[in-house]
Chain A
Amino acid sequence: MLIQDNLFLTRSNPSGLGGTQFLYRVKNYGLSAISGPQEEISMIHWEVEVIKFSNPETAEYEVCHSTELADKTLKFYTDKSLNEFLQKAFQYFEELGSLEKILPQES
Chain B
Amino acid sequence: MANVKGAAVNRNAVDEGKAADWVPGSERQTAVDPMKMFHELPREKQFITGSEAARESMRRANIDIAIAYPITPQSESMQQAGYLYDEGYIKEYYRGEEEIGTFSAISGASRAGVRSLTATSGPGLMRGLEAISSWPGARTPIIMLNMCRVINTPLAIQPDNIEMSFMLNTGILMLHAENQQDFYDYPLAAIMASEQVDVTLPAVVSTDGFFVTHARGPVSITPEEYKLPPRDGWRSAVPAMDNENPPARLSRDAPIQKSNFISYHMHSSWQQEVFAAVGRSAKYFDKYLGGLVEVVNPGADDFIIASGCAVSQAREAVRQEGEKGRKVGLVKVKTIRPFPTEEILEAVKDAKRILIPEFNQAGWLHKEVCSVLYGRCKAIIKDGPRVFGGMTMPTEMILEWLEEFRKEVK
Contacts and interface: CB of A to CB of B under 8 A. Distances in A.
A107 interface: no
Max chain B CB contacts within 10 Å: which of A10, A20, A38, A41?
Answer: A41
B216 A12 contact: no
Given A12-B313, A12-B315, A41-B51, A1 B46 contact: yes
Contacts of B76: 41
Given A12-B179, A16-B393, A79-B47, A37 B313 contact: no
A44 interface: yes
Contact of B323 (A17, A59, A79): A59
B216 A35 contact: yes
A1 B212 contact: no
B319 interface: yes
A44 B215 contact: yes
Interface in A15-58: 15-20, 35-39, 41, 44, 57-58
A18 B47 contact: no
B315 A1 contact: no
Of the four ranges (under 10, 10 to 19, 20 to 34, 35 or more), the interface on chain A belongs to 20 to 34
Given A12-B179, A12-B309, A15-B394, A35 B215 contact: yes
Contacts of B108: none
B275 to A, nearest CB: 34
B323 A16 contact: no
A74 interface: no
A60 to B, nearest CB: 8
A18 B210 contact: yes
A44 B211 CA distance: 12
A42 to B, nearest CB: 11
B49 interface: yes
Interface residues of B, number: 34
B210 A37 contact: yes
A60 B213 CA distance: 28
A37 B319 contact: no
Nearest to A55: B323
Contacts of B45: 1
B395 A16 contact: yes
A2 interface: yes
B1 to A, nearest CB: 35
B231 to A, nearest CB: 30
Contact of B392 (A17, A35, A79): A17
A104 interface: no
Contacts of A11: 312, 315-316, 319
Interface of B: 45-47, 49, 51-52, 76, 159, 179, 208, 210-218, 309, 312-313, 315-316, 319-320, 323, 387, 392-397
16 contacts: A10-B218, A11-B315, A14-B395, A17-B211, A18-B159, A18-B210, A18-B211, A18-B392, A19-B217, A20-B47, A20-B216, A35-B47, A37-B211, A37-B213, A59-B323, A60-B323
Given A11-B319, A12-B315, A39-B214, 11 more contacts: A11-B312, A14-B396, A16-B313, A16-B393, A18-B208, A18-B215, A19-B211, A20-B215, A44-B214, A44-B216, A79-B47
